[in-house]
Amino acid sequence: MLTINWNNPSDDYNDSDDSNITIIMMTPKQYFDHTDILYISRRDTSKSAINRYIKRMKTGNSINCPSLYLEKDICIKQEGRYCLMAAEQLGHKKIPVIIYEYL
């Protein structure tokens, strides 16, 4: 399985805002379970975007971790679904995801 060069997740967030931040390993299904409320699913895909991520991953370029933004356990925003789907296509079962929980 190809090793993905994930950016250092600590570079992706700022501790000074009003959120709790955790990084967890998550399956694609778990990720999309959170995004259902945003009406974002696997059907909402761009094959060209996924292929661009696959190419970047294969060439060793660093990739930002996907992230979920939660308010009272409800997903209000997401970033990185194409990246997550690219990693899944490359055989990764779990992907690091940054969780921002707003207080």
- As its CATH architecture, domain 18-102 has Alpha-Beta Complex (3.90)
DSSP 27-81: -HHHHHHHHGGGT--TTS--HHHHHHHHHHHHTT--BPPPEEEEETTEEEEEE-H
Query: pLDDT per residue over 50-103, tens digit each?
Result: 999 999 999 998 899 999 999 988 899 999 999 999 999 999 999 999 999 987
Q: Where are the domains of the chain?
A: 18-102
Among 76, 91, 70, 65, residue whose Cα is nearest residue 7: 65
What are the tens digits of pLDDT across the range 3-48? 888 876 555 555 546 678 899 999 999 998 888 878 766 666 788 9
Distance CA 92, CA 94 (A): 6
Phi-psi region of 37 (alpha: psi -120 to 50; beta: other; left: phi over 0): alpha
**Cα distance from N-terminal residue to C-terminal residue, the chain:** 38
- Helix (H/G/I), strand (E/B), else coil: 17: coil
Q: Does the global pTM surpass 0.85?
A: no
